[in-house]
Amino acid sequence: MSKNRSWGGRFAEGTHAATAAYTQSQSFDRTLYRQDILASGAHAAMLGRQGIITPDEARAIIEGLEHVREEIASGTFDWKPEHEDVHMNIEARLTELLGDAGKKLHTGRSRNDQVGLTFRLYVADSVRRWQDNAVALCAVLTKRAVQHKLDILPGCTHLQPAQPVSLAQHLLAYAWMFRRDTERLDDALKRVRVSPLGAAALAGATYPLDPHGVALEVGFNVVYGNSMDAVSDRDFVLETLFCAATFMMHLSRLCEEIIFWANPVFGFVRLPDGYSTGSSIMPQKKNPDVAELMRGKTGRVYGALTAMLTVMKGLPLAYNRDMQEDKEAFFDADATVEPSLRIMAGMLDELEFRTDRMREACKRGFLNATELADYLTSKGLPFREAHHAAGLAVAEAERLGKGLEDMSLAELQEIEPYIDEDVHAALDYAVAVRRRETPGGTGPRSVERQLEQLDQWISDRN
Ligand code: ARG
């Protein structure tokens, strides 16, 4: 058993080794060292400005922190499990270097507000990285869409053939999702980038602190409104994890499509070699493991969100140690989301679209039945009757074992005398796509407008 020097004053005996191992977080929260040092430097500078410590002490602390930062970055820092977490390891080393001045850093501060600011800085950095990767992914999607403005494939509802769409339209649907995900994070950042420093343990402090000055110095411009809320709020983690979960959900849907598009029954894509694997027994196999794993890893991120919702739900005010669980949950989500976005961009960039197979597939499933109904409406038939007549034509075509476009004029007129010789032009699949020019529709002018909007957004973000 050993006694903790940071808080061991009132303890007669030390902690059990098992307790220390159970409660420590330095093994994983050391990754927060840059943010902890940034926050501590800002705190020390503020203490100096406010006359709580001398300017010389503030300067010494800031220089000492910089020294510690270099030790950690270069791998020479000696992490000590007995110092529990990243915060106490850094402070202990600072004190070792500076003596009494180091001991003054923690004036007017608690680890409760300290960890809050440190972690908020870390989460904000992660969010920026996710956003950069998401914008890069959108750029790949728009690039591929430009290459496939005129290629068509069956658009589905209920995973059943519905109406033909352009491949560009299909790809851009995902670009819009990832754009929303990115913007959702902009909104979350407004609440992540709030400094709790000054709340101290829970009730505020007796020193003349300047929380706003600290916030500005670390790059935030908002401070907490209530000290108890400040040290016990983990909404910022929950909200960010929700955004991460939504990213993964969208990625997972795209993975699912890539997986069945790669199945030879569809044969809509050929997987790039660099993004697929083989089988140890079946020589013909080329498996979409990357897409499958990404779909699977979505579960981890949902797990992190669920874990933190559960951790928080019963906690009384204010800080509770349970909240230390936010670190590993977030780190795991972070280590999943960022590479997933990056690898999806790489895979999409190299994915080969088999547009011949896509076009061919449009002929199966009567994707031009709506065209026939619209055609009859244009000839003066009320839409409901037109719909019914087109349904009869589908049944007849099915019986004859061919597509609507392969039926002769006579066969079609047999079903509905309103049909003229211009009907075959209306049944053309590519024409069906070209005519859908309502805003956001699959028509080429609409796709062009979407591309302009997305390209503008991408360049604004870069
Ligand atoms: N490692 C702790 C955490 O991540 C730091 C705060 C500890 N505060 C305390 N009073 N025990 O939450």
pLDDT of 215-227, one tens digit each?
999 999 999 999 9
* 116 Cα: distance to centroid of ligand 1 (angstroms): 9
The verdict on the CB of residue 10 being under 6 Å from ligand 1 is no
Are 253 and 336 part of one and the same domain? Answer: yes
Tokens of 189: 């950042």
pLDDT of residue 330 exceeding 80: yes
Q: Whose CA is nearest to atom 4 of ligand 1?
A: 324
Q: What pLDDT, on the 0 to 100 scale, is given for residue 283?
A: 77
The verdict on the CB of residue 324 being under 6 Å from ligand 1 is yes
pLDDT tens track for 108-140? 999 999 999 999 999 999 999 999 999 999 999
Mean of pLDDT values over 67-76 = 98
Are 75 and 216 part of one and the same domain? Answer: no
Mutate to test the pocket of ligand 1, among 29, 115, 327 (most ligand atoms within 8 A of CB): 115
Nearest of 394, 373, 368 to residue 383 by alpha carbon: 373
Classify residue 36: in a domain, yes or no: yes
The verdict on the CB of residue 313 being under 6 Å from ligand 1 is no
Classify residue 8: in a domain, yes or no: no
Nearest atom, ligand 1, residue 25 CA: 1
Task: Give residue 280's pLDDT band: very low, low, confident or very high (50, 70, 90).
Answer: confident
Q: What is the pTM of this model?
A: 0.95
Q: Is 157 helix (H, G, I), strand (E, B) or coil?
A: strand
The CATH number of the domain holding residue 208 is 1.20.200.10
Are 212 and 312 part of one and the same domain? Answer: yes
Sign of CA dihedral 410, 414, 419, 420: positive
Q: Which of 9-13, 61-65, 228-232, 397-401 has the lowest mean pLDDT?
A: 9-13
* 230 Cα: distance to centroid of ligand 1 (angstroms): 14
Q: What is the CB neighbour count within 10 angstroms for residue 219?
A: 12
Are 395 and 253 part of one and the same domain? Answer: no
Are 375 and 352 part of one and the same domain? Answer: no
Expressed as residue numbers, the domain containing 397 is 366-461
Nearest of 113, 115, 319 to residue 205 by alpha carbon: 113
The CATH number of the domain holding residue 405 is 1.10.40.30
The CATH number of the domain holding residue 70 is 1.10.275.10
Q: What pLDDT, on the 0 to 100 scale, is given for residue 328?
A: 98
Q: Which of 2, 16, 27, 279 is catalytic?
A: 279
Are 271 and 403 part of one and the same domain? Answer: no
pLDDT of residue 12 exceeding 90: no
Cβ burial of 414 (10 Å; 0-12, 13-18, 19+) is: middle
* 88 Cα: distance to centroid of ligand 1 (angstroms): 10
Task: Give residue 9's pLDDT band: very low, low, confident or very high (50, 70, 90).
Answer: confident
pLDDT of residue 1 exceeding 80: no
Q: What pLDDT, on the 0 to 100 scale, is given for residue 107?
A: 98
158: annotated active-site residue: yes
Please report how many Cα atoms fall inside a 13 Å half-sphere around the Cα of residue 139, on the Cβ side: 14
Are 166 and 299 part of one and the same domain? Answer: yes
pLDDT of residue 36 exceeding 90: yes
Q: C-alpha distances in angstroms, 197 versus 62, 91, 115, 225, 426?
A: 17, 17, 9, 11, 67
Q: What is the CB neighbour count within 10 angstroms for residue 405?
A: 19
Identify whether 215 is preceded by a cis peptide bond (ω within 30 of 0).
no
Classify residue 218: in a domain, yes or no: yes
Q: How many structural domains are present in the chain?
A: 3
Q: Average model confidence (pLDDT) for the chain?
A: 96
279: annotated active-site residue: yes
Classify residue 64: in a domain, yes or no: yes
Are 254 and 125 part of one and the same domain? Answer: yes
Are 264 and 410 part of one and the same domain? Answer: no
Using the 3D structure, point to which of 338, 356, 374 is the last residue of a domain.
356
The verdict on the CB of residue 158 being under 6 Å from ligand 1 is no
Nearest atom, ligand 1, residue 327 CA: 4
Classify residue 160: in a domain, yes or no: yes
Classify residue 95: in a domain, yes or no: yes
The verdict on the CB of residue 83 being under 6 Å from ligand 1 is no
Are 259 and 320 part of one and the same domain? Answer: yes
